[in-house]
Amino acid sequence: MKKVVTLAFGLLTTMVFAQGPNLTKDYEKIEGKVIEWRHDIHENPELGNREFKTAEKIAKHLKSLGIEVQTGVAHTGVVGVLKGDKPGKTIGLRADIDALPVTERNDLPFKSTVTSEFLGEKVGVMHACGHDTHTAILMGVAEVLSKNKDKINGTVKFIFQPAEEGPPPGEEGGALLMVKEGVMKDVDAIFGLHINSQTPINTIKYKSGGTMAAAQSFTIKVKGKQSHGSQPWSGVDPILISAKIIDGLQTIISRETELTNEAAVITVGKIKSGVRFNIIPESAEMIGTIRTLDYDMKDKLNKRMVEMVETIAKAYGGTATCEINDATDITYNDPALVTQMLPTLERVAGKDNVVIQKAITGAEDFSYFQREAPGFFFFLGGMTPGNTESFPHHTPDFLIDDAGMQLGVRTLTEMTLDYLSK
């Protein structure tokens, strides 16, 4: 099936690239390398801030192309700088390189059998979100562009980012640390892609404006008064207060948030309290997540959560605090940049294969790069056409068709050349 799909894609690209730069041979030549790199990275995954071998592989490849390389960025990140033969702007291209604490269940010749430690536990490690494909694709883009410097009006910065899934507790990392260390200095615009296991290959999906949600974590601490379970009137029950708070938080979404504007989510993921069936405990703690796609909605939700938590606790005789921390910002595709680059996407993939999608409440720290410069983040199909069952990201059965990656190389390369030429 894979050979048939790849052949069909080759015929498609020959047609759609008739009007674009004549790099078809370069793309066809690099495809085998991209697949080989992807298989090797998939078989040897590494968790966030620990991507030592992956970074070494990337750096070695970039240096072999004559690209200026900086290593150790945000712990294990790699940045390559390629200057074209003509002056111009600077474009950033980003790929994330970390894997997840997931034990792979697929029966692949390049299946991961790697184990590591995560939060004090021994875990399997797997590229269960497709970061191996992102890395291999960007390595391919770097090789194609390095061989076509005469077509580059400006500078290309290749950003291989660690810890997109989040750094280990107590450590900094990811896009935010890369930004702090100056990776986005002088970058005029940035592009990134994400493979999708439930979208057919040769398909690109995108959305202008808010594309992926800002992710925030919250911790609510409730304090009551301990008492015997048979005498609730002599104490203040923090578990009861917690239940009322959980119920109240959902009314912020269902009754106070204009969901016809953008989606929003408040989820309590864990609650901890008590030690024994007949003791009303003194305290309770809840943790959870907030997802928003609009900055004004985000500010309003945060404000109302703090107010409601404190007020509900007080109404039942206790006290409570709500601490909210940012995990990622809103992945916001600059509308003007999207409009500028849409013709490139349609030329590369074919107009019928470029689809507008709705916003999703998943999160991406690519958003921190977009706070520094206009950015465009889109989704690349990775599912075999006609597949009757595809598995979501972050699961043991997650699977990507290699035939979908060449479109990623073509798209990022052509977007870079077109942006810099204009």
Residues carrying an active site annotation: 98, 164
CA dihedral 28, 157, 399, 2 (to 10 degrees): 0
User: Tokens 């595709």 — which residue?
Assistant: 333
Residues forming beta bridges with residue 176, ordered by sequence position: none
Integer distance in angstroms from the first to the last C-alpha of the chain? 39
324 Cβ contact list (under 8 Å, min separation 6): 216, 217, 218, 290, 302, 305, 306
Please give the structure tokens belonging to residue 71.
């290593």
How many residues are given for the chain? 422
> Are 417 and 152 contacting, i.e. CB atoms less than 8 angstroms apart?
yes
Neighbours of 301 (CB within 10 A): 24
Which contacts of 2-10 are long-range, i.e. CB under 8 A and separated by 24 or more positions?
2/384, 2/401, 2/402, 2/403, 5/201, 5/384, 5/385, 5/401, 5/403, 6/31, 6/403, 6/406, 9/201, 9/202, 9/403, 9/406, 9/407
In one-letter notation, the amino acid at residue 91 is I
> Are 375 and 366 contacting, i.e. CB atoms less than 8 angstroms apart?
yes
What's the CA gap between 362 and 87, in Å, rounded?
38
CA distances from 311 to 225, 244, 270, 324 (A): 17, 11, 21, 17
Using DSSP's 3-state secondary structure scheme, residue 165 falls into coil
CA distances from 106 to 113, 126, 313 (A): 11, 10, 48
Axis crossing angle, helix 405-421 with helix 24-43, rounded to the nearest 10: 130
In one-letter notation, the amino acid at residue 246 is I
